[in-house]
């Protein structure tokens, strides 16, 4: 498992890929940070980063599919999937190794954003409780969508198609709560409740406001487990099809 994890990390960090993604993320975060700072009139202020994280998740759906689109698609495209599937490593370990590699890159990106709270604390007061909760929520949100992006990558050998479908899927999940509140869906309370139950954005909103609810943690953990299980089943099916 560790050898696959190491191989995945090398594919990210031995090429400009991880650094380009991190630079793009930092560019988005910087833009949101400067916009929020520009709306503050006092030179000394309390800053919670709530609005920044809440806005960043919208733009971040364009980054995660780029990160995950190569996970399985490139293995199939370059013919290395055969070696991977015939290796003594179990399918579960393959899925987990690739997931943890993507999570490592995600954490690398998040760590870069910690520069902003440090700078802010020199000129004002950072609301640490909200900041910590926002980071926890952002990590849970990102981990869930990484698992989703990996699943989509397992369905095709074209990484570009995996990226496009990933964008669409994450866009739908991001705005499913808004869709459930439309006048048309409101006519059907049961459907509305079912759709809202799958909405991740309202749950992240609680984190960004400084609240950690057990129900939200269970939601993200359950979603990650389910999506990784589907990853496992997708790869296991391909292994059996290959005989």
CA angle 123, 50, 119 (to 5 degrees): 25
Could you tell me how many helices (H) and strands (E) the chain has, helices first?
15, 2
Q: Count other C-beta atoms under 10 Å from residue 96's C-beta.
A: 17
pLDDT at 150: 92
**Neighbouring C-alpha atoms within 13 Å toward the C-beta of 187:** 2
pLDDT at 115: 85
In angstroms, what CA-CA distances link 87 with 43, 61, 113, 239, 242?
Answer: 60, 33, 38, 11, 13
Number of domains in the chain: 1
Residue ranges of the chain whose pLDDT lies below 50: 43-45
pLDDT at 39: 59
Domain range for 92: 2-241
pLDDT at 32: 78
Question: What length does the chain have?
Answer: 243
pLDDT at 44: 43
Chain centroid, CA 189 distance in Å: 30
- Single out the residue of 140, 132, 131 nearest to residue 203, CA to CA: 140
pLDDT at 43: 46
Q: For the residues of 133-193, what is the DSSP string, one character each?
A: HHHHHHHHHHHHHHHHHHHHHTT-S-HHHHHHHHHHHHHHHHTHHHHHTSHHHHT-HHHHH
Coil, strand or helix: which one is 47?
A: strand
pLDDT at 45: 46
């Amino acid at each position: 498992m560790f050898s696959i994890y190491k191989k995945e990390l090398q594919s990210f960090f031995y090429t400009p890929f991880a650094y380009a993604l991190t630079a793009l993320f930092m560019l988005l975060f910087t833009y949101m940070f400067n916009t929020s700072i520009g709306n503050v009139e006092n030179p000394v202020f309390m800053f919670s980063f709530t609005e920044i994280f809440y806005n960043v998740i919208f733009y971040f759906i364009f980054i995660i599919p780029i990160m995950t689109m190569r996970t399985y698609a490139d293995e199939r495209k370059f013919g290395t999937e055969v070696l991977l599937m015939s290796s003594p490593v179990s399918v579960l370990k393959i899925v987990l190794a690739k997931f943890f590699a993507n999570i490592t890159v995600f954490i690398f990106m998040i760590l870069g954003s910690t520069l902003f709270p440090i700078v802010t604390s020199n000129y004002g007061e950072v609301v640490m409780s909200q900041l910590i909760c926002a980071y926890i929520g952002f990590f849970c949100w990102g981990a869930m969508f990484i698992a989703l992006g990996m699943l989509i990558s397992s369905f095709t050998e074209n990484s570009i198609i995996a990226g496009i479908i990933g964008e669409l899927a994450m866009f739908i999940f991001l705005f499913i709560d808004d869709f459930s509140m439309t006048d048309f869906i409101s006519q059907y309370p049961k459907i509305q409740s079912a759709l809202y139950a799958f909405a991740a954005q309202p749950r992240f909103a609680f984190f960004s406001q400084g609240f950690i609810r057990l129900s939200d943690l269970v939601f993200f953990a359950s979603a990650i487990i389910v999506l990784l299980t589907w990853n496992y089943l997708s790869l296991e099916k391909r292994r059996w099809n290959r005989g």
